């Protein structure tokens, strides 16, 4: 199944805009909405939440659970719970918590729940409205990303993809946040220009969260030069992690060297047996997601 991709298209980064678009994108990719609470449903329905609750500081905006589509050869249909709230300092900030489970019920119960990955930007200050955000999804994963100086985040969940491209039934959660917040996963990781990845094995449980070297500046910035030694171009540079390969490689996003791509222009990368279009992010202000001096994130479009 191809990737379903949805950019902001000029819409601001309100919870309603982003999560109604995520809903449409997930359904287009074959996912199922298992549960939506009253806050998420609002003026909508249990099958089509409106996410139109009036914003208020330090208040829940809604909780939903989606399930991966049935795919031959993958017995585990992972369920992803997303719980969203507004920050304590203003109503444009978003706190997004992502939790993985093996089953879910219509009453909102998540079975086999694992560690929560929380993009917590509760007290970030400054401009928190952006018109650059992205959602994409396919049968093996989902992604939600917001590009902004204070409160930017990237949350994704995918079945684990080995270096040879083989997809297995384990799942990996990826998370990063920038500006006055943190990603919580088996303890609190450093917030600024940092990311974490955690793999959930079907048989052996969770692997501990790992920091992504590719998201670090300073000493960690050397990672961005590893594939430049031979002068080659068109080589994805990450994200890499220090987990000994247990997190695998994501399909829905990748980092590219700045001299190999152009902001806002699609790049072509080989994935799943064919050339695929990846949209290169425009923003250069959010280092976790895009830095003209170090690298740019590109999101799968197909």
Distance from C-alpha of 170 to C-alpha of 235, rounded to nearest angstrom: 26
pLDDT tens sequence across 96-107: 888 888 999 999
* Residues of the chain scoring pLDDT < 70: 1, 89, 115, 117-128, 149-150, 178-197, 207-248, 257-258, 284-295
Measured torsion, CA atoms of residues 147, 148, 150, 156, in degrees rounded to the nearest 10 = -10
Strand, coil or helix: what is 217? Answer: coil
Residues 6+ apart with CB under 8 A from 204: none
Nearest partner of 155 among 181, 171, 177, 170, judged by Cα: 177
Per-residue pLDDT at 128: 61
Nearest partner of 302 among 138, 67, 70, 133, judged by Cα: 138
Distance from C-alpha of 159 to C-alpha of 71, rounded to nearest angstrom: 12
pLDDT tens sequence across 268-278: 988 888 999 99
Residue-wise burial string across 62-92, b where 16 or more C-beta atoms lie within 10 A, e elsewhere: bbbbbbbbebeebebbbbbbbbbbbbebbbb
Distance from C-alpha of 99 to C-alpha of 214, rounded to nearest angstrom: 23
**C-alpha distances in Å from residue 117, one per residue of 6, 243, 250:** 23, 17, 17
Pairing of strands 103-104, 110-111: antiparallel
Measured torsion, CA atoms of residues 187, 190, 191, 197, in degrees rounded to the nearest 10 = -60
Per-residue pLDDT at 266: 95
Strand, coil or helix: what is 98? Answer: strand
Distance of CA 182 to the CA centre of its chain: 14
Residue 204 exposed, middle or buried by CB count within 10 Å (0-12, 13-18, 19+)? exposed
Distance from C-alpha of 48 to C-alpha of 31, rounded to nearest angstrom: 13
First-to-last CA distance in the chain?
9
Q: Are the CB atoms for 162 and 98 separated by under 8 Å? A: no
Distance from C-alpha of 222 to C-alpha of 190, rounded to nearest angstrom: 19
Q: Are the CB atoms for 301 and 278 separated by under 8 Å? A: yes
Distance from C-alpha of 11 to C-alpha of 131, rounded to nearest angstrom: 6
Per-residue pLDDT at 218: 37
Q: How many CB atoms lie within 10 A of CB 149?
A: 17
Residue 164 exposed, middle or buried by CB count within 10 Å (0-12, 13-18, 19+)? exposed
């Amino acid at each position: 199944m191809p990737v379903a991709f949805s950019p902001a298209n000029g819409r601001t980064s309100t919870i309603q805009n982003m999560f109604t678009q995520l809903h449409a994108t997930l359904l287009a990719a074959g996912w199922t909405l298992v549960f939506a609470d009253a806050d998420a449903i609002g003026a909508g329905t249990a099958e089509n939440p409106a996410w139109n609750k009036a914003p208020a500081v330090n208040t829940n905006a809604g909780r939903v659970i989606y399930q991966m589509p049935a795919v031959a050869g993958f017995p585990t249909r992972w369920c992803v719970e997303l719980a969203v709230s507004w920050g304590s300092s203003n109503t444009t900030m978003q706190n997004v918590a992502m939790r993985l489970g093996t089953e879910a019920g219509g009453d909102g119960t998540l079975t086999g729940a694992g560690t929560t990955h929380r993009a917590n930007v509760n007290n970030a200050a400054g401009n928190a409205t952006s018109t650059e955000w992205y959602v994409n999804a396919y049968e093996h994963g989902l992604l939600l990303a917001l590009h902004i100086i204070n409160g930017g985040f990237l949350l994704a969940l995918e079945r684990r993809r080995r270096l040879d491209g083989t997809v297995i039934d384990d799942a990996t959660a990826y998370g990063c946040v920038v500006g006055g917040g943190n990603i919580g996963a088996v303890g609190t990781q450093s917030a600024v220009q940092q990311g974490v990845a955690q793999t959930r094995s079907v048989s052996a449980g969770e692997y501990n969260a790992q920091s992504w070297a590719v998201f670090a500046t300073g000493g960690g910035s050397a990672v961005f030069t590893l594939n430049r030694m031979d002068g080659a171009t068109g080589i994805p540079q990450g994200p890499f992690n220090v987990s000994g390969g247990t997190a695998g490689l994501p399909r829905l996003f990748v980092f590219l060297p700045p001299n190999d791509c152009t902001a806002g222009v699609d790049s072509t990368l080989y994935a799943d047996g064919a050339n695929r279009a990846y949209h290169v992010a425009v923003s250069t202000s959010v280092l976790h997601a895009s830095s003209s001096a170090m690298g740019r994130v590109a999101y799968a479009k197909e």
